[in-house]
Amino acid sequence: MSSVAKIVGATVVLLALSACVAGSAGSHHTAAGGDLAQLLLGFWHGVIAPVTLIVEVINRLAPRLLPWKMHLYEAAGTGVPYDVGFYFGMVGSPSIVWHRWSARRR
């Protein structure tokens, strides 16, 4: 894979991560939707939780270092579907990454 393709891929991933993080207007609007929307939103926030945790810690220790704010958990996601999706995302994403990484090393 060329370095240009890697840079483009990383940019797309970063834009996707920043587009619907917890606390954004889009995330707040989606959390007000139905149960399926809350489930998928919670799953997405669970998947990106390690990244948002790092950003939230950096924002807490150096408030003006990063130009954006993220939250680990959507305050408007008050339903059980959001919670279930969040926990499945938290548990599922590290195991998926670990499985792919360990399969590549074999």
pLDDT digits (tens, 9 = 90+) for 80-100: 998 999 999 888 766 666 666
| pLDDT at residue 74 in the model | 81
Looking at residue 21, the DSSP 8-state letter turns out to be -
61-68 contacts at long range (C-beta below 8 A, 24 or more positions apart): 68/18
More confident residue, 20 or 87: 87
| pLDDT at residue 47 in the model | 85
Domain that holds residue 11: 3-105
Q: Are 76 and 23 in contact (CB under 8 A)?
A: no
Cβ partners under 8 Å of residue 100, min gap 6: none
User: Which band of pLDDT confidence, cut at 50, 70 and 90, is reported for residue 103?
Assistant: low
How many folded domains does the chain comprise? 1
How many angstroms separate the CA atoms of 73 and 71, rounded? 6
pTM reported for the whole predicted model: 0.70
Looking at residue 67, the DSSP 8-state letter turns out to be S
| pLDDT at residue 16 in the model | 67
